[in-house]
Amino acid sequence: MMFATADCEHSLEEIHVSSTHATARPAAQRRALRNALIAATLALIAPVSHAGQAAAIPGLPNKNVVIVVPNTAGGPSDLVGRLIAPKLSETLRQNVVVDNRPSNNGVVAGEIAARGTPDGSVLAVGNTGTHAINATLYKRLSYDPVKDFTPIIGIISSGLVAVANPQLPAESIKELIAYAKKAPGKVIIAIAGATGEIATNALMQQGGFDMTKVNYKGGTPAVAALLSNESHLTLTNYSNVAGQVTAGKLKLIGVTSMKRDPLLPNVPTFVENGLEGYEVEMWYGLFAPVRTPAPVVQAYSREVARIVREPEVRDKLVAGGFEIILSDPQQFAARVKRDYEKFRKVILDHNMQLD
């Protein structure tokens, strides 16, 4: 199956799902609350026009810019936004604000950005999950993650790592599968985003075992769940866990890329652990609301590519375990379409759709 997203003091039996998760509200009430939040957010972040001023870069707007990020601070999407924002602010001579709107699989951020004014004043950091996967994963969304956005530039990509609480009695994916088969549902996996959801379902399907899934609003809270003993395992980007792994607070048991990560040469792939053809890769890039003029999209693509090539920015991304891709709008759109079609088949074939 091919896919292109505190020290531990307790025993495995003592690790449990936190009882603090809120009781689910009725669907209609959740939608009403979300719509009210989105309306308030759009009013709050409405970019300020600077009438009479010439744009600092031809083709780009002479008003403040908001970059909507679908996850909490600290994850790869946030890293991309916060590395780009101050550099864009310098060259545009306008304020560029990063607006974090975390939610399950980045849906709220997608709704906010899709409703933004299509003039270059509202941008969105998107990834494999928020765009290529969400378009099929959810049966009903108020926006279309593919049709309602214009790809600007693909920036970075990487595989995921399987990172575990040290109390999990498994040092590899093969050992995880064997342990989980002996105790169905006992292993708790923290789900971070749509790509994590798909990657987890594919792992369980190919491995023929079950885990208990708990959703979190991004990689940072999912990792926090490991550290606080709420879960045993998560699939995330290495940048989210590098410090904890180095400190011995968490352990790596596999990577989802087809080949071993050059930064992690001693960590085997899922394929090496018997899951033939298993590959999941996350890309991150910049999007604009659909109908954003082509000259604006092209100007942003060139400027962001210039920013990412600066040693200061490039080195931080590479140090996080990411490959710099810098695909132009046409190349990025083709990759989104290709992954959308691939993941659509996977989701429908394995009955993974969510309401």
Question: Using 50, 70 and 90 to split pLDDT, how confident is the model at 2?
Answer: very low
Per DSSP, what are the bridge partners of residue 283? 157
Determine the pLDDT at residue 15.
Answer: 41
Centre a 10 Å sphere on the Cβ of residue 355 and count the other Cβ atoms it contains.
Answer: 6
Domain 12-19+159-273 in CATH 3.30.70.2190? The answer is no
Q: Is the pLDDT of residue 340 over 90?
A: yes
Residue 132 makes CB contacts below 8 A (sequence gap 6+) with 4, 5, 145, 146, 336, 339, 340, 342, 343
Amino acid at 159: G
Q: Which of 19-28, 68-77, 223-232, 302-311 has the lowest mean pLDDT?
A: 19-28
CA–CA distance, 217 with 192 (Å, rounded to integer): 6
Q: What class is the 37-157+283-349 domain?
A: alpha beta
Determine the pLDDT at residue 219.
Answer: 86
CA–CA distance, 9 with 229 (Å, rounded to integer): 9
Instruction: Tell me if 321 sits within 8 A of 263, measured CB to CB.
Output: yes
Determine the pLDDT at residue 337.
Answer: 96
| Orientation angle between helical segments 193-207 and 329-349, nearest 10 degrees | 40
CA–CA distance, 14 with 20 (Å, rounded to integer): 16
With tokens 């352990």, the residue in question is 251
DSSP, residue by residue, 50-119: -TTPPPSSTTS-SB-EEEEESS-TTSHHHHHHHHHHHHHHHHHTS-EEEEE---GGGHHHHHHHHTS-TT
Instruction: Tell me if 340 sits within 8 A of 131, measured CB to CB.
Output: yes
- What confidence tens digit (pLDDT) does each residue in 58-85 have? 667 788 999 999 988 888 899 999 999 9
CA–CA distance, 200 with 284 (Å, rounded to integer): 20
With tokens 């290709």, the residue in question is 338
Q: Is 12-19+159-273's fold the same as 37-157+283-349's?
A: yes
Determine the pLDDT at residue 308.
Answer: 98
Instruction: Tell me if 4 sits within 8 A of 338, measured CB to CB.
Output: yes
Sorted by where each begins, the domain ranges of the chain are: 12-19+159-273, 37-157+283-349
Per DSSP, what are the bridge partners of residue 289? 149
Determine the pLDDT at residue 346.
Answer: 85
CA–CA distance, 328 with 254 (Å, rounded to integer): 31
CA–CA distance, 65 with 161 (Å, rounded to integer): 33
DSSP, residue by residue, 201-243: HHHHHHHT---EEEEESSHHHHHHHHHTTS-SEEEE-GGGTHH
Claim: this prediction has a pTM higher than 0.85: no
Centre a 10 Å sphere on the Cβ of residue 144 and count the other Cβ atoms it contains.
Answer: 14
CA–CA distance, 196 with 173 (Å, rounded to integer): 16
Comparison of pLDDT for 96 and 192, the residue scoring more: 96
Helices (H) and strands (E) in the chain, counts: 11, 11
